[in-house]
Amino acid sequence: VIFLLIMTALWAIPIYSLLKDSLKVNGLSNYSYVLMNKVNGVPFYQYFINSIINALFASVLLVFICSLAGFAFSKIEFAGRKLIYNMVLMCLAISGPILIIPLFYIYKTAHLYNTHIAIILSECLITIPFGVLMLKNFFDGLPTELMESANVDGASIERCFFSIYLPLSKPALINLGVLQVMWS
């Protein structure tokens, strides 16, 4: 308990210093000024609303795309599967800042510059390789016999995915969704 109290005090020192310095000149009116006035012509609360919109839609889109891709790479045999999967994994080595200039030109040309869609797509594009890797590994851990028995009963691959594998993958989907919200 003493150790935890010491660690709490150490963490509280910078926060106390920030609050003390922010109240030195004009007191609480600094906070009311920021919250009540426009910053760059936009109300401050709008920044929070934009962040929530971008994070939620990017998370939903990423989970949808990566769940389909992870399932396909794990359970469906098709020509070039290993080659395509390895190419997706190679994209993990590409740093996000390297993509800023090409994405800027693409979005500017497509008239998507300064829109929610551009931000959501950018966040998804950067995170897709990680999400595909994560969900493929999760689907690899689920037995293929589930799909084989469903196929014997007449279920299609889509039906197997949406009725069997997707409900079983809720923990991995939630994990990926939460990570995407945090990264957004």
Write out pLDDT tens, residues 67-122: 999 999 999 999 999 999 999 999 999 888 888 899 999 999 999 988 999 999 99
Note whether 135 and 69 are within 8 A (CB). Answer: yes
Rounded CA separation 173/60 (Å): 10
What is the C-alpha to C-alpha distance for residues 84 and 113, in angstroms, rounded to an integer?
30
CA distance 117 to 12: 39
Q: Which pLDDT belongs to residue 118? A: 93
Q: For residue 25, is pLDDT > 90?
A: no
Contact 32, 149 (CB under 8 A): no
- Distance of alpha carbon 142 from alpha carbon 164, whole angstroms: 10
d(CA 73, CA 132): 9
Q: What is the pLDDT of residue 74?
A: 94
* Residue 46 pLDDT greater than 90, yes or no: no
pTM listed for this prediction? 0.81
